[in-house]
Structures are given as C-alpha cells and as structure tokens.
C-alpha cells in the first residue's frame, strides 16, 4: 500500500558543495537543492553520510542549514531533512533544535557512535532525551540505522519503545542496511504509519511493496528521475521494472567507487555540469582517470529515459 506519511517520498542524500579551501560553498547549496527538486526529489537530507556530515563543525552545519531554506523561495514544498547525529548528546540536541527552528521538516540522527558497546537502554534514553529537548510537537525525528558505517545499530526493540513513547515525533528510520527483510520488519512490525526510508537504491521497488515509505540515497544526486518513476508507479499500484533495472545497474557502478562523496561529486560535475567540488579530509577526490572510468561505465548503461 502507498505510504501517506507526510515525509514519504524520494530524497537525495545530498552532497555538500565545498570551496577550494574546503569550507562550505554556502551560495551553491540553494541552487543545488533546486536542481534536485527539478529532477523529481521530494526533498533532500543535508549533511548525512554522502554529505560528509561528521566532518563539519557545528557552526558549519548551522550555516548550511540556514542557507538551505532559500530553496523554498522557488520550491516551497521541497522538504528538508537535517543530518544531526554526533557522539555528543548536547551537540546533537543543539543541532537538531536549530534545524527545526530554521524550518526543517525532520532530522535524521545516528545513534551515539563512539561507545559502540552501549546497551539498548542507553541508546533508548539517549534518543528519548534528544526528542524531549529538541523535537517540537509538529517535528519528525528519524533514527539513522547504518551499523556498517557507524558500528552502532538501532535495535528493533529500541525503535518500538521510541515509537510507543513518542508516537508522533519519532517518525521512523532511515535504513541503510542491504537487506529488504530488515526494512520489512521495521516498517510493518510497529504500525502502518511508521516511516521506513531505504538507503540502498537497489531495494526501492521491493521494499515499497512490503511497507517502505521511500528512500534517501546517494544515487538520487545523479539519477533521481528513475527513482521517482519507481515511486510514482507504486503510488498508482503498479511497478516499473525497467526503471529499477536501470537503477540497479547504476548502483553497481557506484559501489565500485566507494566511499560515495568523492565519486558522486565527481560524477555530478561530469554529468550535470556542476563545479568539481572537493571533499573534506580524510576523504580524497577521485583522480581524473578514475572519474573518466566511472563516467564511461555509467554512460555504457545508457541515459535516463
């Protein structure tokens, strides 16, 4: 069944434009978000993994959140999600509260990822304190479940407890695992309005059929029209196997050039004509040879119809 949650849809895990000195190119953020809106994204997650969020200071994040809202001048319905997770509860509270104060619809928050041996109660109370102190009654918080990267999962029992205690504010989860079954379990075991957004483009069609609400993905920076086709078909009770096959092929190429921030930035520049924005250390930009190789592999798949 199609999801009717206000945040259901296709989101780009947006890259973060940078200047040559590796400061955030603030003036480029609204125009880049407008590009994503033009290509069918319902919204974007700023400063998530693909946006190199953990590499920036709180002040840099505040500045990026503030300028991002300018996209609403041209696209008033474009939804903004803030990546706000840090190992510090106080910093995460400040970032999350600031994003909502600036008009963001939601925050996507990693669990505290330094003390990876924290127990379930510790993770639950950390999120509960965050919600009580930072999330307004009309705001939405999504947990960011990405144990491969963060080493700290958000256990299903924690999700259920948070949903029970904060049925409106704790909206759901961004699930960046590689298993459709996990998305199914968390998207159906809690309640029909629980928001499950997948982080793996290859799972979109299958997970929509079993209860997911959409996606937040790196590939949406490059190929959001195909992702939107899959989404739109589902809303009409149909499927679009050709669009999903195209996304699967593109994802296979992108997986060869992980981590994603350098490769997505290189390909956004090569394919869509944006500046070749650098990445923050410790990441390093793709070489011209790597960029050309990735581009040729993508081109061999064909252009989006």
**241 near 36, Cβ under 8 Å?**
no
More confident of the two residues 150 and 130 = 130
Task: Tell me how far apart the alpha carbons of residues 134 and 136 are, in angstroms, rounded to a whole number.
Answer: 7
- Among 114, 116, 178, 256, the one annotated catalytic: 114
- Among 113, 144, 184, 257, the one annotated catalytic: 144
Q: Assess if residue 145 is contained within a domain.
A: yes
Question: Other CB atoms closer than 10 Å to residue 10's CB: what's the count?
Answer: 28
**Among candidate residues 265, 255, 235, 249, the one with its CA nearest the CA of residue 298:** 249
Q: Assess if residue 198 is contained within a domain.
A: yes
| 280 pLDDT higher than 60 | yes
* pLDDT above 90: percentage of residues in the chain: 76
Looking at the structure of the chain, the number of domains it has is: 1
Q: Assess if residue 302 is contained within a domain.
A: no
List Cβ neighbours of 12 (8 Å cut-off, separation of 6 or more).
36, 41, 43, 44, 45, 216, 217, 218, 220, 221, 224
- Among 11, 16, 32, 49, the one annotated catalytic: 49
List Cβ neighbours of 57 (8 Å cut-off, separation of 6 or more).
none
DSSP labels for the chain?
A: -----TT-EEEEE----B-TTSSB-TTHHHHHHHHHHHTT-SEEEESSTTTTGGGS-HHHHHHHHHHHGGGGGT-TT-EEEEE---S-HHHHHHHHHHHHHTT-SEEEE----S-TT--HHHHHHHHHHHHHHH--TT-EEEEEE-HHHHS----HHHHHHHHHH-TTTEEEEEE-SS-HHHHHHHHHSS-TT-EEEES-GGGHHHHHHTT--EEEESTHHHHHHHHHHHHHHHHTT---HHHHHHHHHHHHHHHTT-SHHHHHHHHHHHHH--------TTS-PPPHHHHHHHHHHHHHH----
| 188 pLDDT higher than 90 | no
Range of the domain at 146: 9-240
Residue 280 a catalytic site member: no
Question: Tokens at residue 48, please?
Answer: 């998530």
What average pLDDT is seen over the chain?
91
Half-sphere exposure of 289 (CA within 13 A, CB side): 0
What confidence tens digit (pLDDT) does each residue in 77-89 have?
Answer: 999 999 998 999 9
Question: Picking from 105-119, 148-162, 256-270, which range would have the lowest pLDDT averaged per residue?
Answer: 148-162
Q: Assess if residue 24 is contained within a domain.
A: yes
**95 near 84, Cβ under 8 Å?**
yes
Q: Assess if residue 194 is contained within a domain.
A: yes
Residue 49 a catalytic site member: yes
- Among 97, 174, 229, 265, the one annotated catalytic: 174
Which residue bears the tokens 């990441």? 283
Q: Assess if residue 49 is contained within a domain.
A: yes
Q: Assess if residue 193 is contained within a domain.
A: yes
CATH code at 85? 3.20.20.70
Mean pLDDT of 159-178: 88
Beta bridge partners of 80: 44
Q: Assess if residue 79 is contained within a domain.
A: yes
Residues 214, 215, 220, 226: is their CA dihedral positive or negative? negative
**Among candidate residues 149, 144, 146, 148, the one with its CA nearest the CA of residue 171:** 144
What confidence tens digit (pLDDT) does each residue in 203-233 have?
Answer: 899 888 888 889 999 999 999 999 999 999 9
């Amino acid at each position: 069944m199609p999801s009717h949650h206000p945040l259901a849809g296709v989101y780009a895990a947006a890259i973060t434009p940078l200047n040559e000195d590796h400061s955030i190119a603030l003036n480029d953020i609204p125009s880049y978000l407008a590009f994503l809106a033009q290509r069918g994204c319902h919204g974007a997650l700023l400063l998530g993994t693909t946006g190199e969020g953990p590499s920036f200071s709180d002040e840099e994040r505040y500045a990026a959140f503030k300028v991002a809202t300018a996209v609403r001048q041209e696209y008033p319905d474009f939804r903004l999600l803030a990546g706000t997770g840090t190992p510090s509860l106080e910093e995460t509270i400040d970032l999350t509260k600031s994003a909502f104060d600036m008009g963001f619809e939601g925050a996507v928050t990693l669990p505290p990822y330094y003390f990876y041996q924290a127990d379930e109660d510790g993770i639950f109370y950390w999120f509960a304190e965050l919600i009580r102190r930072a999330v307004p009654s009309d705001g939405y918080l999504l947990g960011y479940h990405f144990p491969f990267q963060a080493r700290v999962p958000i256990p299903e029992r924690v999700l259920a407890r948070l949903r029970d205690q904060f049925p409106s504010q704790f909206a759901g989860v961004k699930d960046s695992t590689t298993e459709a079954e996990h998305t199914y379990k968390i998207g159906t075991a809690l309640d029909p309005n629980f928001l499950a957004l997948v982080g793996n483009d290859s799972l979109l069609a299958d997970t929509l059929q079993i209860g997911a609400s959409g996606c937040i993905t790196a590939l949406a920076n490059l190929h959001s029209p195909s992702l939107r086709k899959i989404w739109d078909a589902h809303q009409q009770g149909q499927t679009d196997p050709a669009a999903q096959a195209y996304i699967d092929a593109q994802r296979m190429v992108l997986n060869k050039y992980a981590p994603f921030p350098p490769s997505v930035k290189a390909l956004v520049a090569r394919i869509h004509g944006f500046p070749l924005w650098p990445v923050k250390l410790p990441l390093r930009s793709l070489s011209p040879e790597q960029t050309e190789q990735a581009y040729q592999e993508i081109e061999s798949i064909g252009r989006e119809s």
